[in-house]
Structure 1
Amino acid sequence: MPSMTFDEAAQKMRETHGVKESDMEELYALYKQATVGDVNKERPGIAHPVERRKWDAWEKKKGMSSERAKEEYVKKAESLL
């Protein structure tokens, strides 16, 4: 069982610097899936590469339950702290 709650993990990650971009994209995707659900907006255009990568990461979580996304987020955050 994770030692942090989802909210605690999210707060700690907001305060953490120096995390690789790929890890941040994964955390973003898990956070959005946990709090919003499946991606609900259009894919950003190529003029917005960062937003596009974040969208792509979120899209890969399609169908994952909110509870599972929260669990995965906490596991990922704990592995980075």
Structure 2
Amino acid sequence: MASEAFKDAQERVNQLPAKPSNDHLLQLYALFKQASVGDVTTERPGGFDFKGNAKWDAWKKIEGTSASDAEAQYVSLVNELEG
């Protein structure tokens, strides 16, 4: 079950003062997926799906992170990006 802080951060991420860098966007995606789904279980996308590959790789990199740790890291990153 998602924490209130995680739910709040999901809403605040859409109102950031500046668009996050691609690295931050990938990190946010990976942490969100890890917190809400768990470890990646799908096949890596095909070779020409560069965006899909980047997202899959970012998620795969944090494999094994618990949902609560991923939530906490997501909230921390959103707080950091708010400045």
SS across alignment from 1:37: coil
SS across alignment from 1:47: coil
Residue identity matched to 2:78: A
Q: Distance in 1 between matches of 2:59 and 2:15?
A: 22
Aligned to 1:21: 22
Aligned to 2:67: 66
Deviates more, 1:7-16 or 1:41-50: 7-16
Per-residue CA distance 1:1-54 (angstroms, 9 max, x = gap): xxx700111111133351111100000000000000000111111211011100
SS across alignment from 1:5: helix
How many residue pairs get aligned? The number is 78
Stretches of structure 1 lacking an aligned partner (at least 5 in a row)? none
TM-score relative to the length of structure 2:
0.87
Structure 1 consecutive aligned stretches of length 4 or more whose deviation exceeds 2 Å = 14-17
Aligned to 1:36: 37
TM-score relative to the length of structure 1:
0.89
Residue identity matched to 2:61: K
1:50 aligns with 2:47: no
Aligned sequence identity (%)? 37
- RMSD over aligned CA atoms reads 1.3
